[in-house]
Every structure is written in C-alpha cells, then in structure tokens.
Amino acid sequence: MSQEIKLPKSWDEIYADQWVELKKLDDEESSFFIRKIKILAILTDTLPDDEKWEDLDVEELTKLIDEIKWLKYEPSNEFKKIIDDFTCIDINKLKLGEFIDLEYFFSESYIDNIFKICAILYRKTKKDEWGHLLYEPYHLIDINERSKYFEDLPISYIFGIIKYYLDFKETIISTYQLLFEPIINENEIEEEIIEYDPEEQEQIKKEEILTKWGWENVIYKLSNSDITKYDDITNLPLIFVLNHLSYMKDLNL
C-alpha cells in the first residue's frame, strides 16, 4: 500500500495553503498516529478518513511517517524576491500605513494571514521614463483578492517573508525604543507574562510595546486632529514618521 502513495520529499513540493493546514495541526490534541494520518492526508490532498489510510497497518504507516521526517525542520528563510509579475518591496521603505496593516496581520496570526502579508509586500512594478523602478501604489491593491495568488505557490517561495519582516520590526523597536518606553506599564506586563520563560517574556514585551503605543493616536496627533489628512499621514515613509516623532519627543511637543 505505501508504495502506491507518493509523498513530497521537501518543502519545495509543498504548497503554501498546505503549509497553513499543517501548522494548524500544531494546536490540535490527538494521538500520535491520528496526527500523522492527518499530515499524510494534507500532503496527498486526501481526507483523513479515506480508505487508503484506514487500510494501512502499523508497519506501513510507520514507513510513511519515516519518509516525512524532513517536516520537523522549517522551510528555508530564503525567499523569492521576484515571483512572476510581483516584486518584494524594500522593507526599509515601508509606508506608515503598510507597517500598521502588517502589524495587525502578524499580531492576529501570521500563519492565517501569510497570504495577506505577501499581498502587502509583493507589488507589480514598472519603470518610469527615466528608468527608475516604480512600485504599484498600496491603496490600489485589493488585499483579499491579491492574497489568493500566493496560496498555490510553493511555501519555499514565501516562507522567508516572515523572518524578513520580523527582523525589520526588531530593528525598529531597538532603534526607536525611547519612543515607546513611556507608554508601557511595566508592572502590568510583568504580571501577565511571569509564567513564560525569559525569551518568551522578552518577545511578549516587544509585542506589548507596539500594541500599547496606539497608532491611531499617533496619526491623530500628526494630522493635528484633522481626520481628512489620515491618508496623507499613513502614506508617509515609516522611518520618516518615526524620526519626526523622535524629534517631537525631544522637544516635548
């Protein structure tokens, strides 16, 4: 029976939507063999109650499980910067609005939202009359529609996008730490995360920094309470905004 079942041999053969399904199994409570059958079903586009799995004996199932040991390692953090008509933007040139949306999707669940995250970071491009590369404006993108394109790509094409963004965010938090510190209630954070290990506590603190800062308040302040300027503010480069906020903080404005 196992010889009739063709299994992928690497992440290059796994589609992104399959990866999402596999990751969701991490939160399920089931026996070892039931979980492995669910994994095999995902990898072969079948259902766990398919008769091919019901007919497997322990020896055959064990052999198949051995063939997918590579799943315990994550896909490479390398990613394709150009995929068909789309090019990944330079993350150091993120606009404020793009950053806010990425933060929302990451905080909600980067697993569930990886396709929307890609829809934000990958753009169509063209060159102007001077040969300069121009990226598709963010406000013209239908995120929900664009995200569908990435579902059928190999996960190895886009998995590295996650680290690409998280490394950038780490740099932002570190560089502009003084901007965020006054907003944090350290006692409240310590009480909430005391049961986690030191590394997890540090990560949670960093998440709290951005959550408690409140981007709506920032935009409201930068627009001088003029809601009609909301789009103008969110279209400004993130680094420019953070530098300006640092300047305002230094002057106690």
Write down which residue in 72, 100, 122 finishes a domain.
Answer: 72
Q: Are residues 65 and 140 both part of a single domain?
A: no
**Among candidate residues 64, 69, 22, the one with its CA nearest the CA of residue 45:** 22
Residues 154, 234, single domain; the answer is: yes
119 and 28 housed in the same domain? no
Do both 47 and 171 map to the same domain?
A: no
The residue among 20, 49, 72 that closes a domain is 72
Q: Please check whether residues 169 and 222 belong to one and the same domain.
A: yes
Q: Are residues 157 and 110 in the same domain?
A: yes
What pLDDT does 250 receive?
Answer: 75
Which residues lie across from 154 on neighbouring strands? 15
Domain contains 46: yes
Please tell me the total count of domains within the chain: 2
Identify the domain boundary among 13, 40, 72. Answer: 72
Residues 125 and 170 grouped into a single domain: yes
pLDDT of residue 248: 78
Asked if residue 198 is part of any domain, the answer here is no
56 and 91 belong to one structural domain: no
CA distance 142 to 144: 6
Crossing angle for the helix pair 32-43 and 58-67, to the nearest 10 degrees: 60
Answer whether residue 194 is part of any domain. Answer: no
- Domain span at residue 97 reads 82-175+214-246
> What is residue 51's predicted lDDT score, i.e. its pLDDT?
80
- What is the helix, strand, coil percentage profile of the chain, to 5? 65, 5, 25
Is residue 189 a part of any domain in this protein?
A: no
- pTM of the predicted model, to two decimals? 0.81
Do residues 9 and 43 both lie within one domain?
A: yes
Residue linked to tokens 């322990």: 58
- Cα separation of 80 and 88, whole Å? 8
**Is residue 113 one of the residues assigned to a domain?**
yes
Q: Are residues 54 and 98 in the same domain?
A: no
pLDDT by position in tens, the chain (length 253): 444 788 999 999 999 999 999 999 887 777 888 888 899 999 998 888 888 887 788 888 889 889 999 999 999 999 999 999 999 999 999 999 999 999 999 989 999 999 999 999 999 999 989 989 899 999 999 999 999 999 999 999 999 999 999 999 999 988 988 776 544 444 554 555 556 667 666 666 665 655 555 677 778 778 877 777 888 889 999 999 889 888 877 776 5
